């Protein structure tokens, strides 16, 4: 599977100058209600207007699959 940037143009100002950032600290996404270990958020940001264009976890494979539509 090829890694690909999910956005190539800002939907707000039209710029194609996209930056990559990381959200640390309390913004961890965990797979347990009160988990200590988690996944950092990866952010794609327009470098012209500062809009956050996309956010996703850095390591999605760490999350357990949902079974039978139950949490």
- Burial category of 42 from C-beta neighbours within 10 Å (exposed 0-12, middle 13-18, buried 19 and up): middle
Whether 50 is covered by a domain: the verdict is: yes
Whether 65 is covered by a domain: the verdict is: no
Whether 42 is covered by a domain: the verdict is: yes
Whether 55 is covered by a domain: the verdict is: yes
Tell me what pLDDT residue 27 has. 64
Domain, as residue range, for 35: 18-60
Tell me what pLDDT residue 65 has. 85
The pTM for the full model equals 0.72
Whether 38 is covered by a domain: the verdict is: yes
Whether 22 is covered by a domain: the verdict is: yes
Tell me what pLDDT residue 8 has. 92
Whether 71 is covered by a domain: the verdict is: no
pLDDT digits (tens, 9 = 90+) for 10-58: 999 999 999 998 887 666 676 665 556 678 888 999 999 999 999 988 8
Count the domains in the chain. 1
Q: What confidence tier does 1 reach under pLDDT thresholds 50, 70, 90?
A: very low
Whether 8 is covered by a domain: the verdict is: no
């Amino acid at each position: 599977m090829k890694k690909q940037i999910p956005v190539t143009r800002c939907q707000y100002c039209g710029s194609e100058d996209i930056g990559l950032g990381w959200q640390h600290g309390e913004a961890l996404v965990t797979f347990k209600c009160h988990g200590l270990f988690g996944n950092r958020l990866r952010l794609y940001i327009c470098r012209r207007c500062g809009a956050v264009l996309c956010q996703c976890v850095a390591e999605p494979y760490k999350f357990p699959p949902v079974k039978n539509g139950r949490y």
